[in-house]
């Protein structure tokens, strides 16, 4: 069920600002188990009645959006100019197949044999890239797409090796699937869930979601960069696959509540759940938005380690996803007391 849902959610388009399909799929999964509300921004807020009221209001959040592209203009020859939505390494997208609504395309640039020696040593700048949808001119292109349309990468989801998952938008459809699994399960305490919009472009959705719930404890369920690959020196790997969920003490957006951080590690150890600390101050997530919304909240980030984040082919491992679910279940039980 969990892994089927991850695959289903990864197949849906949901570039920031256009998360509707993802939200509808999640809503269909949890509407019988939770009291649900979609706010004006597009966040899906869900309240799950537990066996008891918690000592502190708990909110678990995961973002529905993914990185992608947005069409900004159309050339007279029918080629589309675009900007990135969220943090994308331009080196990873040349030649990639994309989908704009029902229209397929490919990201192109000047052929390598036409580039200067200096150009060959550098990533192609954004203004040197375009999307080719096979249109013969601007008029035909605009009959198929509109300015502001989002483009998603076409990437075949699959399992590979022993328990590895590969697919687009594992960040953060894994987190969404984990929250769905919790929301459909019996819980010891009343719990709030927020499936948020526009995390990749500034964590906007989490601000309004947290302001409505006013949690005292917020847990961002995320993925985070695993650099356990050749060429990265020990101590700079950030985290590793098959070492369990990642708990952060600080990133570029948030200083986490140290008591909550220590408590999470204690709970993991007591229950025999493999767990790791994020090694270094990198990246960020919507924890800061939850932390500062309303009267503020203690926040914690629990992340699944993931290689090749923000590319068309993210890689995660089943064992880390399963152990993250176990830790989240334990946190709801322990922190709700």
138-180 pLDDT, tens digit per residue, is 999 999 999 999 999 998 899 999 999 999 999 999 999 999 9
pLDDT band at 126 (very low <50, low <70, confident <90, very high): confident
Cβ distance 158 to 166 under 8 Å?
yes
Q: What is the structure's pLDDT at 120?
A: 61
Rounded CA gap, 22 and 38, in Å? 13
Share of the chain above pLDDT 90, in %: 81
Q: What is the structure's pLDDT at 116?
A: 62
For range 56-63, the mean pLDDT: 96
19 a catalytic residue: no
pLDDT band at 93 (very low <50, low <70, confident <90, very high): confident
The answer on pLDDT for 113 being more than 60 is: no
For range 57-86, the mean pLDDT: 96
Beta-carbon-side half-sphere exposure of residue 187 (alpha carbons within 13 Å): 32
For range 63-69, the mean pLDDT: 97
Q: What is the structure's pLDDT at 39?
A: 97
Instruction: Name the strand (E) or helix (H) holding 186.
Output: none
Q: Just give the CATH number of 2-66+168-335.
A: 3.40.630.10
Q: Do domains 2-66+168-335 and 68-153 have the same CATH topology?
A: no
For range 21-42, the mean pLDDT: 97
The answer on pLDDT for 117 being more than 90 is: no
For range 54-60, the mean pLDDT: 95
Instruction: Spell out the domain ranges in the chain.
Output: 2-66+168-335, 68-153
Please name the CATH architecture into which domain 68-153 falls.
Beta Barrel (2.40)
Read off the pTM: 0.94
Cβ distance 167 to 10 under 8 Å?
yes
The answer on pLDDT for 14 being more than 60 is: yes
pLDDT tens readout for residues 219-230: 999 999 998 888
Q: What is the structure's pLDDT at 43?
A: 98
Q: How far is CA 232 from CA 164, 238, 239, in A?
A: 21, 10, 11
Which of 19, 66, 181, 199 is catalytic? The answer is 199
For range 254-280, the mean pLDDT: 94
Question: What's the chain's average pLDDT?
Answer: 93
For range 17-27, the mean pLDDT: 97
Cβ distance 49 to 184 under 8 Å?
no
């Amino acid at each position: 069920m969990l892994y089927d849902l991850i695959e289903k959610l990864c197949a849906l388009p949901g570039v920031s600002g256009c998360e509707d399909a993802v939200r509808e799929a999640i809503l269909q999964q949890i509407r019988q188990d939770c009291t649900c509300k979609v706010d004006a921004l597009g966040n899906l807020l869900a309240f799950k009645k537990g066996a008891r009221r918690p000592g502190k209001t708990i909110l678990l959040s995961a973002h529905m959006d993914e990185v992608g592209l947005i069409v900004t203009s159309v050339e007279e020859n029918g080629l589309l100019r675009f900007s990135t939505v969220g943090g994308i390494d331009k080196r990873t997208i040349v030649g990639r197949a994309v989908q704009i609504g029902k229209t397929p395309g490919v990201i192109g640039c000047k052929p390598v044999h036409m580039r200067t020696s200096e150009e060959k040593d550098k990533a192609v700048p954004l203004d040197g890239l375009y999307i080719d949808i096979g249109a013969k001119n601007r008029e035909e292109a605009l009959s198929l797409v509109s300015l502001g349309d989002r483009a998603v990468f076409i990437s075949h989801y699959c399992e590979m090796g022993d328990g590895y998952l590969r697919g687009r938008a594992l960040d953060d459809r894994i987190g969404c699937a984990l929250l769905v699994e919790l929301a459909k399960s019996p819980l010891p305490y009343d719990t709030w869930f927020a499936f948020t919009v526009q995390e990749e472009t500034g964590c906007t959705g989490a601000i309004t979601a947290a302001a409505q719930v006013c949690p005292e404890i917020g847990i961002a369920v995320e993925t985070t960069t695993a650099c356990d690959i050749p060429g990265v020196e020990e101590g700079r790997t950030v985290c590793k696959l098959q070492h369990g969920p990642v708990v952060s003490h600080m990133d570029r957006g948030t200083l986490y509540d140290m008591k909550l951080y220590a408590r999470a590690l204690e709970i993991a150890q007591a229950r025999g759940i493999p767990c790791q600390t994020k090694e270094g101050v990198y990246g960020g997530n919507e924890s800061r938005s939850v932390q500062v919304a309303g009267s503020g909240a203690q926040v914690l980030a629990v992340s699944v380690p993931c290689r090749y984040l923000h590319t068309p082919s993210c890689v995660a491992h089943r064992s880390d996803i399963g152990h993250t679910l176990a830790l989240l279940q334990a946190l709801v039980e322990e922190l709700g007391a």
